[in-house]
Structure 1
């Protein structure tokens, strides 16, 4: 004789509740665009600089803090844990790394520094639920660290894309060879017209892997 147990209805409810909670901790592109995220003046230089410093591979996140002139103040990179995409988990990871590389600005009335997130992943440039969870996590981590929430950028084999803005380029991509700092790679000639120009000089480099 074989005895079995039917799945607990309470367990099913808990699972559904957890899924609903995770879905609530993500932002749609329209929500992100409506949040008043400041535009990067020189997204190409920011992306290229972070790519050269941290050499991200798929499932690597790079969080960077920029001053009011869009110069790099601090940055950290880390691998995404193999868990379901959850904005709360991403928020905690981002906040932990921000605390390691730069003091908070919670005593200021208004933020003077901006945090941006570059996430290297597989797939194409289209928004995913994982991107939505990273957006939610970045916004919440910035609030808790006294920073202005800045751009969320994906890095895929096709290039980079500033989500919610429609700006991007073909170089660098997740499979690109990082260029030495200070050099302008020849591949920049392949950039799409959507990218912006300008220069951003790094003030300090702090990387945590």
Structure 2
């Protein structure tokens, strides 16, 4: 009688299963365009403001929350490096930084504020799988944080491009005054601390007090009896 072990069932390698699931967590340009993403009134101003505030380098993601007037009320920049882009990982990273800079709006019946994502990378401004994973992550993170899903913008060495809209322009030039910001940063009237510089008032010139007049040696001295005693200068013999 021979004992042996039955061969294990043929199971596809986990890499192929993970790859299929990962591909399902990305959006293509046609899906993004049909999702009803609100258009930015002035994307150039939004891109220039975020670029000047965070100074992104390749592989830097900037998530910003806009109010109804398209003013940036909160923003955060971070670097997310991964060999295989996965929308699930990007969604988790976006949620972590959103929760640090702004409270959620889940109690509202309808979202009021909008989240946009600016991603700096190398290459051409055409759609890539990494862009599709970021789109999926942004849409899911907005749903879980009570925000409207806004534009996804790529920033390449030469230009910026709003994917799904066709609008773009030249890459902004860095300002020579402000310093780069890499940590999460809040902005807005309720979060911005206004620095007020008050000019020092010119002080009145210091005027020296008048010196007391020197006593007149020719004046008479009063003695204890009240009679004046004249100064007598006696020449030495």
TM-score when scaled to structure 2?
A: 0.70
Deviations 1:131-174 (A, max 9, x none): 000000000000000000000000001210000000000132xx
Segments of 5+ residues of structure 1 without an aligned counterpart are 1-7, 182-201
Answer whether contact 1:52 1:180 (CA < 8 A) is retained. Answer: no
Residue 38 of structure 1 corresponds to 38
Deviation of 1:178 after TM superposition, in Å, equals: 3.9
- Extract unaligned runs of 5+ from structure 2: 1-8, 179-186, 193-237
Spell out the pairing of 1:1-209 with structure 2 (5 A cutoff): 10=11, 12-172=12-172, 176-178=173-175, 203=188
* Mapped contact 1:51–1:178 kept (Cα < 8 A): no
CA gap of 1:165–1:179, structure 2 versus 1, over 3 A, is: farther
Aligned residues of 1:125 and 1:154 also touching (Cα < 8 A):
yes
Bigger CA radius of gyration: 2
* Relative contact order higher in (CA < 8 Å, ≥ 6 apart): 1
**Is the contact between residue 52 and residue 179 of structure 1 (CA under 8 Å) also seen in structure 2?**
no
Q: 1:15 to 1:159 in 2, by over 3 A?
A: same
**Which is helix-richer, 1 or 2?**
1
For each residue in 1:101-141, what CA deviation from the matched residue of structure 2 results, as whole angstroms up to 9, or x when unmatched? 00000000000000000000000110000000000000000
After superposing on structure 2, the runs of 4+ consecutive aligned residues of structure 1 that deviate more than 6 Å are none
Whole-Å Cα distance in 2 between the matches of residues 180 and 42 of structure 1? 24
Count of residue pairs the alignment pairs up:
175
- Displacement of 1:180 in angstroms is 5.0
Tell me if structure 1 keeps the 8 A contact 2:155–2:171: no
TM-score (norm 1): 0.79
